Amino acid sequence: MPQRKHLAALLVIFLLAAEACTKAPPPAPITAAPPHRAVPTPVGTTQTVLQKTFNLKDLATFPFEIPADAVMPHLHGIFESFTGHAHGASDDSANIDFLVLNEDQQSAAENNRASEALFSVEASHNQAVNLDLPPSLNHAVKYYLIFRNPDAKNSKVVEANFRVDF
């Protein structure tokens, strides 16, 4: 009988040990980066990009940024150039070039590499601009308004008013 008690005790210990071995350890908690929180730009938001009258000898660059998650940014505005002074002669003698560039295009232009522009106008003294920009997704995007005077000997005056609607 004492052997039966020992066998029974050993059997219980064996069964408990076997059961303990078959239990899977609890799963490790999953840690992941927090998801990107998309915050849509409210419809009807407007950002002033440039509202200025300035002298243009050869080149003027005005950077602006589209915030992250801008779904449908739209650049619009107008510029007019004059010879002599603001609201002076605004005819072909006041013609300038105008470009809208993204960061890659701006970098290429600074390094004298050929590149296309998102938007360009050559030899104009009065121009309205309406341009849909690509969505900015989850990061801000930088753009540049470039005013170029092909006749650097004769300075021009430019009056510009540009906004971005979201």
5 found inside a domain: no
What's the per-residue H, E or C state across the chain? Answer: CHHHHHHHHHHHHHHHHHHHHHCCCCCCCCCCCCCCCCCCCCCCCEEEEEEEEEEECCEEEEEEEECCCCCCCEEEEEEEEEECCCCCECCHHHCEEEEEEEHHHHHHHHCCCCCCCCEEEEEECEEEEEEECCCCCCCCEEEEEEEECCCCCCCEEEEEEEEEEC
Residue 36 in any domain: the answer is no
Residue 29 resides in a domain = no
Q: Does residue 22 fall inside a structural domain? A: no
Q: Residue 53's domain is classified under what CATH number?
A: 2.60.120.680
In a domain, 123, yes or no: yes
Would you give per-residue pLDDT tens digits along the chain (166 residues)?
556 665 566 556 665 566 655 555 666 666 655 555 555 555 568 999 999 999 999 999 999 999 988 889 999 999 999 998 888 878 899 999 999 999 999 999 888 888 899 999 999 999 999 999 999 888 999 999 999 999 888 999 999 999 999 8
Is 141 inside any structural domain?
yes
pTM: 0.73
What's the structural domain count of the chain?
Answer: 1
Is residue 15 assigned to a domain? no
Enclosing domain of residue 94: 46-165
For residue 85, tell me if it sits in a domain: yes
